Structure 1
């Protein structure tokens, strides 16, 4: 007598019978498989030989339901940046089974194919949209991952329907070859040709790396250096060249690392005892100066609970002195306008080239004003360095016609005083027929 059919727990039992304690038979092709108290081999067999055939003969409602679930799964993978291996995770499979026991989760290979098909469909739609665009601008950057793999990214910006600023990522490509001007230019030219925008590019924005600058020159495109990146370099240089502040930052990094590694619970208890909100300390990131600002700002805010937590712990981590906190406070006041400018320039919903001249003017006005306030010598030295760097790196921007014209054409700055513009810029505007926003706007008639 055959053993009773295994109680259904996994939907795959709809297609198999348990014929011995260690063997099952497929009801669709009568093939026998080994069984060891799990359904992995049964699922592989069903997916490899029968899944597609069953879908062909499935009822319209069943096929539609499966298609909807597949699309929802693909959307989750794309939006949440999930790995394809999630479909093999035991917890995920159990969760999906509870939601719909009849849904057979696609294999990793099938899921990858569906994601690639969705990408191709989205790419074709984006290409069709860009065919109607008259002019575009590009932003490009290169970086190295934690695994030391280099990547090149190019993003296209344009004004689409209803004068709405739109952006399309043309590609993020692994870049194993040497980072020479010729190699970078070749990849960018290939992307522009693939997307049909070779003759539509009005400007390309990059960082100030020599190979990136030379690349744009070789492509014979108008070039502009990213202002947010320039601000980052200005502030980082001012921070790094101040020995006292460098020492304070080193102590702060060690302090934050100490709490983030093992004693967060102690800090949380002290914050609750003092009636303060639970706020974690923030660590500095080497490549982003605003992370330094955030780290020091959070330490200033949590000065009392951090000091109390340290007092109750066995440690050799030095806390900042009162004098060092005074230096930090003064430096944060000087850096505040730079932080605001960085946030404003990093906005994605609006163009930013038109903001450059007003923001530079704001920095030129605010920084000397802050310098008149009493402050420790280390903070004043950093402030003087900021002023020197600001004049050296950004002073010429105000005499560039593309920046001034972008500001004048922006409806937010219609009340701007024309007389504050340089005379040479005014002359350039009289003869200039078109202009382009350096971060996304197409050529516009004046």
Structure 2
């Protein structure tokens, strides 16, 4: 009997039993899997009705198909694709592939089942915090997304997306508050929300005030505004940035230029990398664009020399200015990445992080070679100082210990 009929590889060193879902150690042999199967499942499999076994296997394949659709964001129409159908036919000729409509129903059932489990989980927690954001799709449709964060019974930080709902109404504070309230009532967490994190938009701030819950500004969003406003303060930097963006766009839109850049990198014995274009809504995309362009400055220059174009690369002095700017912006990039993590509580890091940014940028500004980079550093220091002072006044960013929590022997230390 092929034991792999009842096992599934989940990592390089682990497999999972499809019958009881137990995870087993795997080291390139089936000994442990055979022992597990013979000890727990062999007798049950020999006495089970073959028709029942076939139904059970069909259910397992259906579940795997549904999970693939959800995890990989695949369209329901995949079950109509010839290549996909041929693959399943080879893997299991007896499996009847569900129709597109049937698959949609299976995914909807999975959603309802998962939603009910999450609702039950939320009923057991004492408090939650929410993150809310408004965003626009490629077709210019507005959506409200609300994410919930909480500590489960095993003291693990959990995050779950509660809703992404179409929001065709005007984005007034009243409409936003109504939308948030409906989501909180639907999930049974209306009285458990201890904090709502949003951007600094006036309608969002007024919305939270209407809901009468504690409010916190997204610090990653605040850092984005700090850096973008500092960019706007320095016209010389924006001139270099515009020149770099035009150059990157040329290599991104010209097939000939893109292929030539790849060839030059290969001839230089370098790994073939692509240039990165910035996105207006994320300052760190500008950092990534400048960093990659500075890294590929020699291949880019060589590729341009062999192409018919009036686009010129940055000069040596401009590349030096870019290098200085990257030196100044590196701590902000690291801070943005740290604050964007989902598996760690970031609020407790905000005040120390802002202090570290202020100290770091102050020290780095002293060793810069280009005037505009020093101006950028000064602007960043000033804006961080203003933001840090504001954050230190927010109770949500600090932990205050009542005096009766402090042992008498320790009170003298405070």
* The structure with more radius of gyration: 1
Task: Please say if 1:180 is aligned against 2:172.
Answer: yes
CA contact (8 A) 2:348 2:398 kept: yes
Check whether the contact 2:351–2:388 (CA below 8 A) recurs between aligned residues.
Answer: no
RMSD of aligned Cα (Å): 1.8
Instruction: Name the structure 1 match of 2:132.
Output: 140
Structure 2: segments with no counterpart, 5+ residues: 1-49, 406-414
Q: Give the C-alpha shift of residue 117 in structure 1.
A: 0.3
Alignment match of 2:324 (pick from 319, 330, 340): 330
Q: 1:346 aligns with which of 340, 344, 366?
A: 340
Q: Which range moved further: 129-138 or 311-320? A: 311-320
Contact 1:401-1:429 at 8 Å conserved across structures: no
Q: What is the deviation of 1:364? A: 1.2
CA distance in structure 2 between the partners assigned to 1:431 and 1:224 by the alignment: 26
Structure 2 match to 1:430: 402
| Alignment counterpart, residue 369 of structure 2, candidates 367, 375, 378 | 375
Alignment of 1:289 with 2:283, yes or no, is yes
Question: Which SS does the other structure have where 1:163 is aligned?
Answer: coil
Q: How does 1:36-435 map to 2 (within 5 A)?
A: 59-261=51-253, 262=255, 263-405=257-399, 429-430=401-402
Following superposition, the deviation at residue 197 of structure 1 comes to: 0.7
Tell me which stretches of 4 or more aligned residues in structure 1 moved more than 4 Å.
none
Measured in 2, the distance between the counterparts of 1:126 and 1:359 equals 33
Deviation per CA, 1:87-114: give whole Å up to 9, x if none.
2222222222222233222111111100
Classify the secondary structure of the residue corresponding to 1:134: coil
Shift of 1:201: 0.8
| Length, aligned pairs only | 355
Give distance in 1, aligned partners of 2:53 and 2:84: 25
Kept after mapping to 1: 8 A contact 2:252/2:275: yes
1:48-103 CA deviation, whole Å, 9 max, x = no partner?
xxxxxxxxxx9223322222211111111000001111122222222222222332
Higher relative contact order (Cα pairs below 8 Å, separated by 6+ residues): 1
Segments of structure 1 that go 5 or more residues without pairing to the other structure are 1-57, 406-427, 434-446
Structure 1 pair 131–188 and aligned structure 2 pair: CA distance change class (3 A)? same
